[in-house]
Chains A and B, each alone.
Chain A
Amino acid sequence: AQTVTQSQPEMSVQEAETVTLSCTYDTSENNYYLFWYKQPPSRQMILVIRQEAYKQQNATENRFSVNFQKAAKSFSLKISDSQLGDTAMYFCAFMRPPYSGAGSYQLTFGKGTKLSVIP
């Protein structure tokens, strides 16, 4: 079974500064996908960024980037130029493909990191 660990329950950052959220996971799979989701106070789950395990290049989406270390099973999220709207819970998630040809993709979530951006 896969597990996802987010060791920082809460973090804070000054507006315009950079913050890194950590995530580690445990799996015996070789092909898998990693995600960061953001959940603001409205509770909506919003995809932030996605990484395929077979890609060595780290994914980037505007101010959001990841540091994917496959051997270390680490997948941290860096937020640059933090904005007040970045205040949210951030969930790291692991996805393995279905074992059979057709099926569904199972996401395993970490327990989340509550990020507060301070004006």
Chain B
Amino acid sequence: DTAVSQTPKYLVTQMGNDKSIKCEQNLGHDTMYWYKQDSKKFLKIMFSYNNKELIINETVPNRFSPKSPDKAHLNLHINSLELGDSAVYFCASSQDAGYSGNTIYFGEGSWLTVV
């Protein structure tokens, strides 16, 4: 069973389109994240949600809108796609346990190519 699963794994789309990437975790975790890995393989957090509430929102264009219908799902919708949005997008999750700290588990990534 895949702990953090995201779909689609590969997505090629034209500039200007709107697309969504879905993510689901079956680990019972309270917190979910979206990370972006650019062409230089640098990974950076975009958003995090804790129990469906937005906690972290890094400097991300407002064309990116996360949506968490429940704590097991965190979808990423991107409007008006641009060439620079081409990247691998990772969904991740962790258990919220206060200061005890916890490991973040990643999905397999969604390769987005904007042409």
Contacts and interface: CB of A to CB of B under 8 A. Distances in A.
Nearest to A104: B48
Contacts, number: 75
A107 B104 contact: yes
A47 B101 CA distance: 15
A44 B108 contact: yes
Nearest to B47: A104
B39 interface: no
A105 B94 contact: yes
A105 B41 CA distance: 21
Contact of B98 (A33, A52, A101): A101
Interface residues of A, number: 29
A109 B55 contact: no
Contacts of A47: 103, 105
Contact of A50 (B41, B48, B56, B103): B103
Interface stretch (A14-22, A72-80, A89-97): A89-97
B86 interface: no
Chain B interface, >50% SS class: strand
20 contacts: A31-B101, A32-B101, A39-B41, A44-B108, A46-B106, A91-B43, A97-B98, A98-B55, A98-B98, A102-B96, A102-B98, A103-B96, A104-B33, A104-B48, A104-B49, A105-B102, A107-B45, A107-B104, A111-B40, A111-B41
A47 B92 CA distance: 12
Nearest to A97: B99
A69 interface: no
B21 to A, nearest CB: 14
A103 B55 contact: yes
A105 B111 contact: no
Which of A42, A52, A97 has the largest number of chain B CB atoms within 10 A? A97
A111 B44 CA distance: 10
Interface in A63-119: 89, 91, 95, 97-98, 101-107, 109, 111-112
Contacts of B51: 102
Nearest to A39: B41
A31 B99 contact: yes
